[in-house]
Structures are given as C-alpha cells and as structure tokens.
Structure 1
Amino acid sequence: MLPVSLFGPLRPAAALVVVAATSLAAAPVLAAQSFVIQDIRIEGVQRTDPGTVFAALPFRIGDTYTDDKGSAALRALFATGLFKDVRIEIEGQVAVVVVEERAIIANIAFVGLKEFDKEPLTKSLRDAGIGEGLPFDRALIDRAEQEIKRQYLSRSLYGAEVVTTVTPIERNRVNVTFTMTEGEAARISDIRIAGASVMSESTLLELFELNPSGWFSWYSKSDRYSRTKLNSDLEKLRAYYFNRGYLEFAIESTQVTISPDKQTISIAISIKEGQPYTVTSVRLEGDFLGKEDEFRSLVLLRPGQPYRGDAVTETGRRFTDRMGLYGYAFARVESRPEIDRATGQVVVVFAAEPQRRVYVRRVDMAGNTRTRDEVIRREFRQLESAWYDGGLIKLSKERVDRLGYFKEIDIETSEVAGAPDQVDLVVTLTEKPTGNLAIGAGYSNAEKLTFSASIKQDNAFGSGKSLGLEVNTGRSNRTLVVSTVDPYWTVDGVSLALDAFYRTSRPINFLGDSYDLKTPGASARFGIPFSEYDTVFLGLGWERTELGTSVGLPLAWLNYRALYGSTTDAFATTLGWARDGRDSLLAPSTGRYQRLFFEWSFAGEVRYLKTNLQYQEYWSLPARLTLGVNAELGLGRGLGGKPFPVFKNFYGGGLGTVRVFEQGSLGVIDPTGSYIGGAKRFNANAELYFPVPGTGNDRSLRIFAFYDMGNVWREHEKATTASLRASAGLGLSWISPVGPLKLSWGTPLQVQRNDRIQRFQFQIGTAF
C-alpha cells in the first residue's frame, strides 16, 4: 500500500533513524535532533481511516518535532486500540508514522454450547470488546474464556472446559471459535446439619431451596449447587432460629466437598443454637417526630412473647415507612437487643433518626423502550415538586404494576447535589410482552373437539390502549368479537371500552336439524374511578337477534319468536362496580375482588333486567399454601309482563363455573335436547394451592385441589340445594408465556342421570 502524506507520495530517504520501538516499555531509543516538520506520512494503514491517525498526533506540519512529542504520539496511537505496533521514523524533515493494525474479528462461533443461549452470550462478549468487526485482542479473549468457565461453575458444571481457537483468514482478519465440553452437572448427594438439638435436621432441611437429587430435580434444578443459593438458604436457617427467640444462633462453618469425578457434591453445615430469649419490653429512643404513641402502635413485638427477628425487621420497616409519609425519605431506624443471659430475657430498643424532610424534584423513567412515559406518569400519585410521601410512592408502584406491562419495577431515591432538601425518583422498568393469547379446548360426544381463542394486545404501540380479537369455533357456538379499551379516555382517568361482535349459535339438538341464532351488536362502556381500588362502569349497547329456520328450533326459542318476532332489537344500559384489592392479577395469594353488574334493556322489542354479583378472596396459609374462594350469583328477569329472553340466559358447567360437567350443559334441557341455560345461576368454587416440590416460592407453577358447586335454573323455577351439582378434583396452574394455563381432572360428586361429564378440561387465560 502507498504511504499516505499530506503532500502526496514521497521518495524513500537514504537515511533512517528509529526514534521509537513497538512498545512503550521498550529500552530507550536513539534521540532525534529537533527539527521543523515539513510533512507527515502514514504507512501501514489498511482499514483504518488515515484521519484517525492524524487526529491522534500531537504535532502538525510547521511544528517543531521533539522526542517528547514522539513519545506522546506513540501513547495516543496505542490508546486507540486499533494497532498492534506503532513506530515513528524520521526521513530528513519528514515524520513517518508506521503502524501495524490489529486483526479484525470476522466471525465468532460456539461449538458444543448447550447450557447457555447463544444470543445473550454473544451480546455479553461484545460488551466486553469481543465481537464481529472489533479488533482482535488476545488478552480479552483469555479473560472471556475464564469468565465463561466461571459461568459454567455457577451452574454446577465443574468438569466444563473451554478452548479458544483463533484462525487467521485473508485481509488481516481472524475467526474465533469457543469450543465447550460441558459434561454433566454435579448433583448434590446429601446435606447435613450438625449441632441441631432443639430443631430436627429434617425440619431445617425443609427450609432449603437446595436439596439432594429427587424426582422433580429435572425441572427445579434444586440439586445443582450454587453459592448464592446456599447463602440464601443459610439466611433462611438463621431467620428460622431468630424468629423463635434464639438470638445467639450462629453458623460456625460450612463445608462443600466435591467428588474426584466432579459429579457429586456434599454439603456439611455446623451450627450453634444457643438459648431462647423472651421479650420483656420494647423501648423507643431518638426522634420519633413527637408521635411516640403513633409509632408504638406499629410495634409487632409483645412482652412475654419469644423474640422474633421477622417482627423486629417488620417493625423497623413500618417505622421508616411511616416517617416516609411525613416526608423523611432518609430516615434511619436501628434495632438493638439488650439481652440478659442469666434470665433468658431481652429488651428490644428501636433508635430513630429521621434525618431531614425532603421534596421530590423530578421523577425520571428508565427502561421503558416501548411504553410511553405518559402511560407510566399518569399512574403516579407522587407528584414532582411535592413533599416526599412514601405511601404515595408505594401506591404509584402498585398502580404501575397493575398495568401488567412490566416484569420488574424498581423505584430508587437519589439525592440532588447541592440541594439537601431535594431528591429525584428514578423508576427503572423491565418491559415484558403485552400480547395475550387465550386458548380453550374441550371434547364431548356431542360437540366433539371445540376450540376457542382470543388475541389481545394490552399496550398497543406503547400507548396503554388495548386491542382485542376473540374467535370461538365450536360447532354449536361461534363468536367473533373486536374490542378496544382506552384506560385514559379523559385526563381524569375515565376509561372507554368499545366492542363490536357477531355471534352465531347452533345449540346441541338431538334431532340433528339445522337452525341458528345470529346476534350482531355493539356497545360502549365508560369506567369512572372513584378511589384507588373502586371503579364504576356505565355503558350503552345495541344488540339484534335473528332467528333462522323453524326446523328443529328448540321450544324455548319458538316461544321467544312467538312473543317478540324473528328479528328483534334491544337497547340496553349497563351499570357496574368493581373493587380489586388482590396482590396479583395472575397468581394472587392475598386480597379480595368484588364485582356487581346490572344490565337493563330500556328500548326495543325486548325488555329485561340482568344482574350479576361476584366475590373472590384469597388467604395465605402456612407451609406456602394459598386458599382461594369464588362465588357468583346471576339473576335475570323479563319486564313488561314478558319472560326473560332466552338468548340472555346464564350458562353453567365447565371451567369458570362447575368443572367436570361439560361446558354450558347445566340447567334446563329443551325437549329437542338443546342446552338453553337459565335465568338464574349460582356457583361457588374453592381452590387450595400448594407449591410444586422443589420450586421454592415460585408461584408460576402450582398444584391445586378444587371443589365446585352450582347450577342454572329457569326464571320462575325454585333454586334448591338438592338441584345443585358438585365436583372435586386436582389441577395444575401454570403462568405460561402465552397466559395462565389451568388443567383440571375431577369427578362429579352430585350428578343426575342426564348430565354430561367431561372429566378432563383445560383452558389458557382463566382464573377460576
């Protein structure tokens, strides 16, 4: 390649003086006599822009060249990371900069990679400076190789080997190949706890997330050793004793032994239990803002009870949270036990230091690459330029979490430099896919295989609005629904929901004749928030009913057509109220949900009133159990002296009502064999959730036992306990990537001769 000069190509000089070698740490070079630079020439560049080299040089044409400037030029060029070797040669009054470029990485490949995904590994290597198109650096490659080995160790793959192969190719490029020999993961063969006398070893081992290999280890991977998990388990062990009064409990040693073949691991833990302590009193010290009585009411410890570490921690948290309500963002509360070993008693002292009161200068968002800032900010109750309020910040986080758009939400408080009375809130978010796919299927002799599906995008284009499409392909019932919801139709938080639907129904008919019911319609519903948890709904809708041929038409539908005609319109207004206090929408463990709904058809050929009441509650029980109950009552009544229209009937049976019974099969059966539902419905459900062994506190996968009871009745039929249907069974609940999945298998407990049984049922996208 021709040398690059500010004056063009130069003729080779007869004399050559080397003033710098290839390393800054090389031996002293020959000193060059100072001179005025007439030209600067660059040699050796292939891919690098010569302008990059000229920009790094500390001298220009017309400057006086010195050894100090030459050394500075070498340091600047090496600092770019683009060159493996650099030297400066002097030809008369011309400075010749000779460079040797680093090889460029053309391709990175992984051979034998199974434990990790390729994409995240490639990204992490690129962040470390190793990637396609980047300069090759042997030192970085060696460090990356060691880091990959450490990652394998963190997954108990102690026999894993990583070999790096660098293959030169044309145009000063290289291919880098990481060859992995992963081997088998080391499994925990046993865990022993020595020194336990008050508590049994088996009881203590039940606290651990790590455990020896078992039948479910293939899913939970709980038999893979991890130092982080072991430390977490040791903290659980320590907390277990502290919560029972053993203040001086100590873990004396922890030994982890791996077998010579690196396939099995043994863990030995030595503990000292100490003696239990009883609380005699709780004392408050420091500044409690003159509200000692208010703070004392928050104390969870009581004299005469054993010392409980979790109660001490929770009391301290309550104190700091309460001070946060008064604007003290940096309040400090320390607990100090004063123990008397002779009597086994302890006095718990809480010392408070409120620090200073502050207000929030700014609320910043980070991580919401898809969701617009305004969607998050409108859920915030902590305002900028207002006093810091810990309660409002907590409520803001809960409201953002209820959006369902984010996997993680973290709010950090940072001080403002030079302003001790100001803080900034940094809201860090991790987004998740907001599309939802709900799938349902069932099988029966009458309908054979039925399928229903819905697609919903809850955060369309990051606007917070939702768009939905629902399709049902059952032989007897087919549905097409298009819907959209704007949760902030007004700046005050009034929501607007629009629906357009087209339904056809061909109820099961033992006669096998063809007939159908077509129902097009549309509706609009407004949601008005009255509190942080209460919403009132107002709506207006239109619905048309078109009855097809009379051949095989159920008797109930013939009666309907005789009263109202084959084509009818109904204009209905809706009124509803909902309160949602559950801790989670997908896998609740505590909290309550209530809903009341009225639908009144005030115009058109059909007049009726329809009411629906629902109540849900969840309780967190010991041993990580959760009990959930659900009850629902529906009532319909015809107006104007006419019966309740059959096509507005309630249906029962299947998931969401009474499992084990075929979907929609409960209630009155028309003489033609059609399921027509009823004007009254009641169902009650109970589910007891317990964790899958080996999954720890993970609530995304749970096993449950259920008991369902309910039925559907006609408008003037008396609802009796003897007519109720009941079932019980087991199921599996899994929050899958496409939505919550429920599988259930059960048996009927109260059943009548004509009931249709469907023991196995599943649905994606359901709760009860």
Structure 2
Amino acid sequence: MRAIPLMLRCCARRQLALIALLLAINTPVAAEVFQIADIRVEGLQRIAPGTVFNYLPVQVGDTVGDGVTGGIIRSLYQTGFFDDVRVEREGNVLVLWVRERPAIASIDITGNRDIDTEALTAALSDIGLKEGRVFDRSVLDRIEQELERQYFSRGKYGVLIQSTVSPLERNRVAVRIEITEGLTARIKQITIIGNEAFPEKELLKRFELGSTRWTSFYSKNDQYSKQKLAGDLESLRSFYLDRGFIRFEITSTQVSISANKKEIYITVVVDEGAPYRISDIKLAGEPSIPAEELFPLIHLKRGDFFSRRATTESAERISNLLGDRGYAFANVNTIPEIDEEAREVSVTFFVDPGQRVYVRRVNMKGNTRTRDEVLRREMRQLESAWFSAELVRKSRERLQRLGYFEDVTIETPAVPGSADQVDVDVTVTEKPAGNLSAGIGYSQSQGILFNASVTQNNFLGTGKRVSFGLNTSEATQLYQIAYTNPFYTVDGISRGFNVSYRETDFDELIGADYSTDVGVLGMNFGLPISETSRAGLGVRYQYTNFIAGDSSELAQQFVEDNGNVFNDFVLSASYTNDSRDTAIFPTEGSLRIARADLTVPGSDLQYYKLTYQEQLYIPLTSRFVVSLSGDLGYGEGYGQTDSLPFFENFYAGGPRSVRGFVANSLGPRETDDDDPVGGNFRMAGSIELFAPAPGGPQLSKTLRLGAFLDFGNVWQTNDSDLIEPTGFDIGDLRYSAGVSATWLSPIGALSISLAAPLNEEEGDETQVFQFGFGQTF
C-alpha cells in the first residue's frame, strides 16, 4: 500500500524537472551589452555605406544593447531604401545585413489619350515615381487610385488601369502602366425636385451641364464633371437669391451611373422657401461723401424682390467711389434685416471709409533699359495726390498698351508708421528692346509674300519707335522707313516721319493692264483726346508714276487727259477710338477709325478720300462673342480733276471684305476688257459669331473659330463710257455666309474661310475656299 505513493512522488519530481527544462529553453536570455568597435554593412549594391551611416542612430564607440538594436532597424526601414534589415554581432563589430529595394529603370505609360503623357510623367515624378528612384509598391498603388479619380472626374467611369513591374538585372525594375480609358459617360438626365416658383426647363438653362444635344461635340456639356456641377449648383443658388428667395437651399444632390457605366443621372433636391421684398434701404456709418452721391450707386428699389447680385454690385460701386476719392482702405458691408412674418428685408449699407490716403512716392522697378520718364509720363496716379484706385488701374493699362513690357504689376503698400500714406510700386518685366523678323506667306490675291523688318519699339529706352521694312509679292513691292516719337511734347503729342516706296502691278492684283510706282515722304502728329481716343494730322509729299498698258483703254484715256507723272501734297486728318480689351482676339469694346485725305490745291491731281471703319465686340457668354463691323469709303475729284483717279479707287471682295467672292473683283468693270476697276464709293460690313477652339485655354489663345454673314460692294458714282455699271444702287449689295478659322501659328497668321455667295449674279467671280498665310509688314 505504501509503494504506490512513493511511485507517484517519483513521477511528480520527473515532471517538475521536465517543466523547468522547457521553461529554461523558451525563456530569452538578455543579449550582452557591448561597445561598438566597428560597423560593417553587408548586402549593398547601389547605396553607398556612407548613406547608411548617416541614418544610423549609433556610431563607433557607442554602447549597444537590446533597446538600441530595435531603433537601428526602424531607422533603416524608414529610409525606404530596404526591404529587409538584420542586426548581428561579430565580437565587438556591429554587422548590418540589408536587402535593397530595386531601382526604377524605366516607366512606360500607354493608352492615355485624355491626359497628356508629359503632364502625367511630371505628376508621377512629383509623387515619387521617377526613373532612378527607389521603387515603392505603395506609391504605385496610390498613383493607380489617383489616376482613377482623375478619369472619374472626366466622366470616364469605365477606365481600367493595370500596372506591371518587371524585374531587371542589377536589382532594377521596369514599370509599365497600361490605361484603358473606355468611353466617356454621358449625362442622360438632370432632374430638379422641389421647384414650384420656376419650371425645371427655366432652371436648367442656368446649367452648363445637360443631356446630349447637337452642339455637345463642341461644348462637351454632356460630359459630367464634379467641378462643373458645383458651378451649376452655385448658378442655381444665385438665380434664386437674385429673385428674393433668401432662404433657398439645395438639400441634396445625387449622381448615379447606369450598370454599363455609360449614362449618368443627376438629381437635385431644392427647398425654395418664399420670396422676400425690400422694405427699406439705409446708409449707416461715416461715409465721408454726401449721401446724395452714394444713393444713385445703389441699384435697389423699395418693393422690389431682394437681389444678392444687385446688393453686392451696389456695395462695390460705393467702395470704388470711395477708393477714387482717396479712401484706399474703405470697407462697405451690407446688413440685411429680415422680417419673417412680413417676408420683407431692410438693407443697410454700413460704410467705413477709414482715413483718407495720399501717395507718398511712385517707385519704378524692373526697367533696366527703359528710362523712368517713359513710365512716369504714362502714370495717371501722381505723387502727393490723393490715392485713386481708378487712376492706378488706368496707369497700369497705359503701361501695358506701350508694348514694351511682358508684365506690369502695381502694388500700393502702406507707409510704415503712417496711417494716411501709401507708396505706389510699379514693377515691370521688360521685353527684348528690338525685333528682327522675316517671313514668307501666301495670299490668293497677291501670291507669295516675303517680308522682313527691323523694329525698335523702345529705341535706347526713350519710348521712340524706329523701323525699317520691306514687303514683296507678285503684285506689290514696298520699302519703308518710319520714326515716331510718342511724346514729342510733354502733353503727349506725338510726331512721326515716314518714307516709303511702293510698286503695284494691277495686272497681278486684279487683272488690269496698268501699274503704279508711288514714293511718299510724310510727317504726322497725334493728339490724345481721352484715354482711348486720339486725333491725328499729317502732311505728305507723294510722287506717282502711272504706267498704262496697251490693252486698257481706261488707263490710256487717263494718261491722255492727266499725264502719267504726278507730284501731290496730301493733308490727312484722322480720329481713332480704341476701347477693345486686346488687339488680338478681342472679346469686348470697339475700334472706330475715321480718316480724311485731301490733296492741296496746286497738286497735279486734286481729290479727296473719306473713310470710316468700326468694329464692335459684344460678349454673349463667357465663350461666345459677336462682332459687328462696318466700312464706308468715298472719294471724289475737285478743281481740275474731274473724279477720283481710278487707281485710288476702293475695292471689295475677298478675305478682307466680302468673303466668297474673288478678292477685289466686285463692282464696276472696264467695258473693253471686263477688268474690275473698283469704285469711288464703298459700303461693306460683317456680322460674325466668334468662339474659342475646343481644347482648353492655351489653344483658345491661338485659334479662333467663327460663323459670319458678309455684305458689301463698290460703286462708281460718276458717269463714264469706259466703265459699267455707274451710279449707286443699294440693290447691288452682295451677300455671303460661311465659317472661318484664324490660327496664330509660330511662323505667321493663317486665316481660312469657307463661304457661299447668297446672291451672286452673272459676271461675278466666286471663290468658296479662301485663305492667307503669313504676316504682311
């Protein structure tokens, strides 16, 4: 009976010993702390050991234990250079075993049509995916997600992006990104829920987005964009707020896509609220300007529906007036007081003009070549005068119109330590002082054109213009020298000189058998009338050698009556008003030019010519501009000259007047050989709708599309047996319609038109396709 407990005790002792042994085996033994005598890095291929040492938190001589080795591993992993890091010890030498991440040897992107490869490569480089850098798979994953987001924002929800990483020798990889863009999802329907005051059709007119229509290929209105939708929702909100719906809200917006990812449905839920009318309009604060001057700037009326836009614009007008009166830091706040029961709003304009400010100094910067006086004479804001925001704006516009500078910026910092003074700092970036150019072009009316010019718009930094140029074609050869001083006097009166020689072969130009050689020596003056208008007065000596061919009875009769060499003195007067926003592809403003030329009594030929041209640009939307242009010209002889010399006649037809007809072919003709001779009276005009080319703002700066209606003709008002028809008849106007394109290419301007004459008659010369290439001097 006692043997059994003894056996049990022996078994228990053996079990306890086994457990103790297992615990001893599985219990970690603390590493021995040691002092580093040396550090060795194993496994490096491209990375220099010095680079690793820079990231280590220890160095030779430091003591290493368990708490330090973990920090070493973390530091090396955080560099992003390694896939694996191990720390070992050989004696007192710290050994670091590393496995480098591969380097990117090449990046290949295919299938991207909607996003430019160059822009995409630059974006990848910014994120960290670039040839020569260490490859990080997480970066590639983020790039795939960002690319998907970019394509989703462009309406391409079926986009598929696949990345392939191929290993190469020397621990390198080749990255290939294949993009399958798929089709752009089109907006099938936009639905507005909750509108009661206005029909859905009226509200959707405010949206840039919409379902597919026949103009969608150009406007892209059916391609969904998150940014465009946000803009449309803001337009919808403004529409209601401008009609009194102060409590209007967009409660939700849902965008859903069909199962095939080709159709998008947009649902907008609104809460209109009720319209509020204006009960009272008040001014508060300290305006410093009589209320009688401020109230006309407030375009609100009691009893009308409240309008956020009209309220904001009224506040801006008050602020601008205060700024023009010297209150540079004026602040105008609108405070609406809403009566919910009466549904009325009392609008208070709280005016805080601040202290009146005057200009201490006008400082010029950046004009390394242009003299200070050239800039200062264009300044409308003067030193020691009250500050005026309008005069500062006009000063900047005048400096930009000089054409000497790539950029003009004006800042008005406050003078330190003074509450009523500012400085006007003008900073300019100068263009090259001179311009040497040569070009070749082609015109259907004049053939091959060659032009060359040397122009110094800002001669020696004085603002004076000097130019030498020539222009040759099959029909015309022109040689010209010109000089202009825009500030001949301190009042801005300009003076210029012009010497030119022109040979014109009318046989090449219009098919008529005669030619002229004309030399000109002239002087002109210009007088500024306003910021946009200018008057001109000039006098010139004009030598004309008229050469009549054998086949032109009209030319021979003219030589018999008047001779063929003429010395004339011509007086000219002009008026120009140019309020266009820019000379190239204007979008608003107008250009009006009136001119009169008169040969003085005693000249060999005595005649006068009157011309008037006007171009008016009206913006219809942010993209479309309508242009209205008109051109009138009349000339007549006086004294011993019976009529306007026919080689001074006006012409019509071609790209510069009535497109669709051969250049200079409209109007009267010689009775013997049917050659066009022009007329002493011209009437022409055009209505044209312009639109920027699709493809983004950069392309729209150099390419413009248009649809036009042209009209015009010339008449000979004096009777002649050698010309027919004679006399004026408004029914002789010719009309044409078509489309046009103008491209400002790097080597010259290219203009193209396709026009269809609408009322051509027998004998008219038509030309549907017309173009011109190159720039004339």
TM-score after normalising by structure 1: 0.73
Aligned length: 718
Answer whether contact 1:415 1:424 (CA < 8 A) is retained. no
Query: What CA deviation, in whole Å up to 9, does each residue of 1:183-215 have, x standing for no partner?
Result: 111110111112223322222212211011222
1:585-624 mapped onto 2 (5 Å cutoff) = 585-586=583-584, 590-599=588-597, 609-618=608-617
Answer whether contact 2:734 2:758 (CA < 8 A) is retained. yes
Match of 1:745 in 2: 755
Q: CA, structure 1 residues 558+428, in 2 after alignment: closer, same or farther (shift >3 Å)?
A: same
Match of 2:5 in 1: none
Instruction: Choose between structure 1 and 2: higher helix proportion.
Output: 2
Using the TM superposition, give the Cα deviation of residue 396 of structure 1 relative to its aligned residue in structure 2, in angstroms: 4.6
Letter in 1 for 2:264: I
Using the TM superposition, give the Cα deviation of residue 78 of structure 1 relative to its aligned residue in structure 2, in angstroms: 8.5
Query: What CA deviation, in whole Å up to 9, does each residue of 1:353-390 have, x standing for no partner?
Result: 34566669898999x9xx99999999765679986532
Q: CA, structure 1 residues 85+725, in 2 after alignment: closer, same or farther (shift >3 Å)?
A: farther
Match of 1:722 in 2: 729
Using the TM superposition, give the Cα deviation of residue 623 of structure 1 relative to its aligned residue in structure 2, in angstroms: 12
Q: Which runs of 5+ in 1 are unaligned?
A: 1-27
Q: What is the aligned-residue RMSD (CA, Å)?
A: 5.8
Q: Do structure 1's residue 711 and structure 2's residue 682 form an aligned pair? A: no
Match of 1:194 in 2: 193
Answer whether contact 1:658 1:725 (CA < 8 A) is retained. no
Q: Counterpart of 2:319 in 1: which secondary structure?
A: helix
Which stretch shows the higher mean deviation, 300-309 or 516-525?
516-525
Answer whether contact 2:381 2:391 (CA < 8 A) is retained. yes
Letter in 1 for 2:113: K
Match of 2:575 in 1: 577
Match of 1:215 in 2: 214
Q: Counterpart of 2:674 in 1: which secondary structure?
A: coil
Distance 1:491 1:618 in 2: 33
Query: What CA deviation, in whole Å up to 9, does each residue of 1:521-566 have, x standing for no partner?
Result: 687766564532123445676765455563224523652476343x
Q: CA, structure 1 residues 69+322, in 2 after alignment: closer, same or farther (shift >3 Å)?
A: farther
Distance 1:110 1:459 in 2: 47
Query: What CA deviation, in whole Å up to 9, does each residue of 1:580-631 have, x standing for no partner?
Result: 1234545556533221224455798666544323234455679998665433
Answer whether contact 1:660 1:727 (CA < 8 A) is retained. no
Match of 1:125 in 2: 124
Letter in 2 for 1:531: S
Q: CA, structure 1 residues 503+389, in 2 after alignment: closer, same or farther (shift >3 Å)?
A: same
Answer whether contact 1:504 1:518 (CA < 8 A) is retained. yes
Answer whether contact 1:668 1:714 (CA < 8 A) is retained. no
Answer whether contact 1:701 1:732 (CA < 8 A) is retained. no
1:390-539 mapped onto 2 (5 Å cutoff) = 390-396=389-395, 398-399=397-398, 477-478=475-476, 502-507=502-507, 516-519=515-518, 529-537=528-536
Distance 1:284 1:378 in 2: 39
Match of 2:338 in 1: 339
Which stretch shows the higher mean deviation, 318-327 or 79-88?
79-88
TM-score after normalising by structure 2: 0.72
Q: CA, structure 1 residues 550+701, in 2 after alignment: closer, same or farther (shift >3 Å)?
A: closer
Q: CA, structure 1 residues 651+621, in 2 after alignment: closer, same or farther (shift >3 Å)?
A: same
Match of 2:676 in 1: 675
Q: CA, structure 1 residues 126+87, in 2 after alignment: closer, same or farther (shift >3 Å)?
A: same
Answer whether contact 2:160 2:180 (CA < 8 A) is retained. yes
Match of 1:33 in 2: 35
Q: CA, structure 1 residues 55+255, in 2 after alignment: closer, same or farther (shift >3 Å)?
A: closer
1:264-283 mapped onto 2 (5 Å cutoff) = 264-283=263-282
Which stretch shows the higher mean deviation, 449-458 or 317-326?
449-458
Distance 1:497 1:30 in 2: 98
Match of 2:649 in 1: 649
Q: Counterpart of 1:303 in 2: which secondary structure?
A: coil
Using the TM superposition, give the Cα deviation of residue 715 of structure 1 relative to its aligned residue in structure 2, in angstroms: 6.7
Distance 1:341 1:304 in 2: 16
Letter in 1 for 2:676: Y
Using the TM superposition, give the Cα deviation of residue 140 of structure 1 relative to its aligned residue in structure 2, in angstroms: 3.5
Distance 2:482 2:501 in 1: 12
Q: Counterpart of 2:282 in 1: which secondary structure?
A: strand
1:276-295 mapped onto 2 (5 Å cutoff) = 276-295=275-294
Distance 1:269 1:412 in 2: 44
Letter in 1 for 2:675: S
Match of 1:19 in 2: none
Answer whether contact 1:727 1:746 (CA < 8 A) is retained. no
Which stretch shows the higher mean deviation, 204-213 or 681-690?
681-690
Distance 1:525 1:407 in 2: 29
Match of 2:301 in 1: 302
Using the TM superposition, give the Cα deviation of residue 97 of structure 1 relative to its aligned residue in structure 2, in angstroms: 9.2
1:168-207 mapped onto 2 (5 Å cutoff) = 168-207=167-206
Q: Do structure 1's residue 259 and structure 2's residue 258 form an aligned pair? A: yes
Letter in 2 for 1:653: G
Distance 2:187 2:769 in 1: 37
Q: Counterpart of 1:319 in 2: which secondary structure?
A: helix
Q: CA, structure 1 residues 521+428, in 2 after alignment: closer, same or farther (shift >3 Å)?
A: closer
Distance 1:209 1:436 in 2: 44
Q: Do structure 1's residue 160 and structure 2's residue 159 form an aligned pair? A: yes
Match of 2:241 in 1: 242
Q: CA, structure 1 residues 172+91, in 2 after alignment: closer, same or farther (shift >3 Å)?
A: same
Match of 1:663 in 2: 663
Letter in 2 for 1:33: Q
Answer whether contact 1:560 1:646 (CA < 8 A) is retained. no
Answer whether contact 2:333 2:351 (CA < 8 A) is retained. yes
Larger Rg: 2
Answer whether contact 1:244 1:308 (CA < 8 A) is retained. yes
Distance 1:247 1:335 in 2: 14
Q: CA, structure 1 residues 228+342, in 2 after alignment: closer, same or farther (shift >3 Å)?
A: same
Q: Counterpart of 1:507 in 2: which secondary structure?
A: helix
Using the TM superposition, give the Cα deviation of residue 232 of structure 1 relative to its aligned residue in structure 2, in angstroms: 1.0
Q: CA, structure 1 residues 515+404, in 2 after alignment: closer, same or farther (shift >3 Å)?
A: same
Distance 2:673 2:310 in 1: 65
Distance 2:454 2:213 in 1: 40
Distance 1:660 1:216 in 2: 26
Match of 1:685 in 2: 685
Q: CA, structure 1 residues 461+126, in 2 after alignment: closer, same or farther (shift >3 Å)?
A: farther
Distance 1:98 1:524 in 2: 87
Answer whether contact 1:499 1:523 (CA < 8 A) is retained. yes
Match of 1:5 in 2: none
Q: Counterpart of 1:108 in 2: which secondary structure?
A: strand
Distance 1:298 1:379 in 2: 30
Distance 2:311 2:128 in 1: 47
Q: Which runs of 5+ in 2 are unaligned?
A: 1-29
Q: CA, structure 1 residues 227+606, in 2 after alignment: closer, same or farther (shift >3 Å)?
A: same
Using the TM superposition, give the Cα deviation of residue 279 of structure 1 relative to its aligned residue in structure 2, in angstroms: 2.4
Q: CA, structure 1 residues 453+724, in 2 after alignment: closer, same or farther (shift >3 Å)?
A: farther
Match of 2:225 in 1: 226
Query: What CA deviation, in whole Å up to 9, does each residue of 1:438-469 have, x standing for no partner?
Result: 98866xxxx8x967798999999999989898
Equivalent of 1:732 in 722, 731, 739 = 739
Q: CA, structure 1 residues 613+250, in 2 after alignment: closer, same or farther (shift >3 Å)?
A: same
Letter in 2 for 1:255: Q
Match of 1:148 in 2: 147
